[in-house]
Amino acid sequence: MRCNRIPEAFSYINIAKGKDPNNSALFWAEGVLYMKQEKWDDAIKSLTRSIELKGDVFDTQFNIGVCYYNKAVEMFMKANEIMDAAKFKVAQDEANSVFVKAIPYFEKANSMKPEDTDSLRNLKELYFRLRTAFPEYQAKYDEVMKKLNK
């Protein structure tokens, strides 16, 4: 969808949500539109509502994981610009805490669709990235690597 059509799409979604406020697909679509604009917090809010309404949709689980992951990447990039070691550590820890939030969604997506390698690859990267700060992720990383190497 071209960026100049996104406001129009939001307008149609809002009209539809007014008529069917419990339609999880509308919140998913809204979340995807926010993702296209890299508005991660807004996307997370919409996708969370979609999951509250219907939690067994692979794409919603996967997409919210992507949002948390991308938000954390942006935070990490900003942290890398900090020259003060103590402030860098705080910013790095905050980014890592957002990376951690992505994990349950990718795990749920993987449990729903075990043949999907994208969720496994994301889990591999998250577990690898976080294993130093959270040693319990080393075993999960090893497990994912076995699945990917089959």
Q: What CATH code is carried by the domain that includes residue 8?
A: 1.25.40
Tell me the percentage of the chain whose pLDDT exceeds 70: 98
Residue 72 domain-assigned (yes or no)? yes
**Same domain for 104 and 125?**
yes
pLDDT at residue 150, as a whole number: 78
**Same domain for 43 and 99?**
no
Mapped onto helix, strand or coil, the DSSP state of residue 132 is coil
Closest CA to 65 of 29, 13, 118, 25: 118
Where helices occur in 1-150 by DSSP H, the ranges are 6-19, 24-36, 40-53, 58-79, 85-112, 117-130, 137-148
Nearest-5° Cα angle at 18, 13 to 20: 85
CB 69 within 8 Å of CB 77 = no
**Same domain for 49 and 70?**
no
- Find the distance separating the first CA and the last CA of the chain, reported in whole Å: 37
**Same domain for 95 and 143?**
yes
Residue 60 domain-assigned (yes or no)? no
**Same domain for 27 and 82?**
no
Number of domains in the chain: 2
Position 89 pLDDT exceeds 90: yes
Phi-psi region of 38 (alpha: psi -120 to 50; beta: other; left: phi over 0): left
pLDDT at residue 87, as a whole number: 96
Rg value, the chain, Cα:
17
- Mean residue pLDDT of the chain comes to 95
Mapped onto helix, strand or coil, the DSSP state of residue 116 is coil
Residue 3 domain-assigned (yes or no)? yes
- Containing structural domain, residue 42: 1-55
Q: Give every CB contact of residue 91 below 8 A, 6+ residues apart in sequence.
A: 75, 78, 79, 82
**How many angstroms separate the CA atoms of 129 and 127, rounded?**
6
**Same domain for 10 and 83?**
no
User: pTM value?
Assistant: 0.93
**Same domain for 44 and 79?**
no
